């Protein structure tokens, strides 16, 4: 089922989400709907607060662009993108590399705004799965950026919070209009 994506200004987007404590059929149905919603909106990620549910759950799918990463290790072994896509995770924990990278980001909850964001290029993500297992993903590129972006949502942080001070000034008017 396609869900409504809440937009900039909705208070749930600023909430620090609560951990997922129980995986049941209702949560699995929510995941299915989130994946369908993300694909319908041509997104590469969607976090539960973006559909109004303040829990630490997100989905990512960057399989449309297998060249978007230079490396991928899952639980210590080299892996292929298609082996883990779409990626569904709860209660993530991230560690970052020291190298930074700038790239343009957008967000399904902030329509029509894109801006350059500097983020760590590399991430080690501990991603609990719905079946109780855990994936430890080491990667870079779009997958690293998408995992970081969606995890930010779970902490009440939006990509516009991470732009440079000059970009914040440029975006101020656009963001104000979105609130109206």
Is residue 101 assigned to a domain? yes
Is residue 151 assigned to a domain? yes
Rama region for 112: left / alpha / beta (φ>0; ψ in -120 to 50; rest): left
- Active site residue: 21, 93, 138, 150, which one? 150
Contact 142, 62 (CB under 8 A): yes
Average pLDDT in the 121-129 region?
Answer: 98
Beta-strand ranges (E) seen in the chain are: 45-47, 57-60, 72-74, 77-78, 87-90, 93-96, 100-107, 110-120, 123-128, 134-139
Taking only the tens place, the pLDDT of each residue in 45-81 is 999 999 999 999 999 999 988 888 999 999 999 999 9
For residues 64-98, one letter each, b for 16 or more C-beta atoms within 10 angstroms of the residue's C-beta and e for the rest, the string is eeeebbeebebeeeebebeebbbbbbbbbebeeee
Active site residue 150: yes
Is residue 6 assigned to a domain? no
* Dist. CA 74–CA 84, nearest whole Å: 9
The predicted pLDDT at position 180 comes to: 81
Is residue 3 assigned to a domain? no
Peptide bond into 121 cis (omega under 30): no
* Residue 68 assigned ligand-binding role: no
CATH number, domain at 39? 3.90.45.10
* Residue 17 assigned ligand-binding role: no
The predicted pLDDT at position 35 comes to: 98
Is residue 4 assigned to a domain? no
* Residue 149 assigned ligand-binding role: yes
How deeply is 17 buried, as exposed, middle or buried, from its count of CB atoms within 10 A (0-12, 13-18, 19+)?
buried
Using alpha carbons only, how large is the chain's radius of gyration in Å? Answer: 16
Q: What is the pTM of this model?
A: 0.96
> Of the candidates 15, 12, 7, which has an alpha carbon nearest to the alpha carbon of residue 155?
15
Domain holding 162, by residue range, is 11-179
Q: pLDDT confidence of 165, banded at 50, 70, 90?
A: very high
Is residue 5 assigned to a domain? no
Is residue 92 assigned to a domain? yes
The number of folded domains in the chain is 1
Contact 124, 138 (CB under 8 A): yes
Is residue 165 assigned to a domain? yes
Which pair of structure tokens corresponds to residue 86?
A: 């779409």
């Amino acid at each position: 089922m396609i869900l409504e994506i809440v937009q900039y200004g909705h208070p749930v987007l600023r909430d620090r989400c609560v951990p997922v404590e129980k995986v049941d059929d209702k949560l699995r149905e929510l995941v299915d709907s989130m994946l369908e919603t993300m694909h319908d909106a041509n997104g590469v990620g969607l976090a539960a607060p973006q559909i109004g549910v303040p829990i630490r759950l997100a989905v990512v799918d960057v399989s449309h662009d297998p060249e978007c990463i230079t490396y991928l290790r899952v639980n210590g072994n080299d892996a292929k993108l298609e082996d883990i896509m779409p990626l569904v995770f709860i209660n993530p924990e991230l560690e970052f590399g020291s190298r930074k990278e700038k790239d343009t980001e957008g967000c399904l909850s902030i329509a029509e705004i894109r801006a350059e964001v500097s983020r760590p290029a590399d991430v080690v993500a501990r991603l609990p799965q719905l079946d109780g297992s855990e994936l430890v993903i080491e990667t870079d590129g779009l997958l690293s950026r998408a995992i970081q972006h969606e995890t930010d949502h779970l902490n009440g942080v939006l990509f516009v919070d991470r732009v440079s001070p000059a970009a914040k000034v440029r975006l101020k008017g656009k963001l104000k209009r979105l609130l109206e």
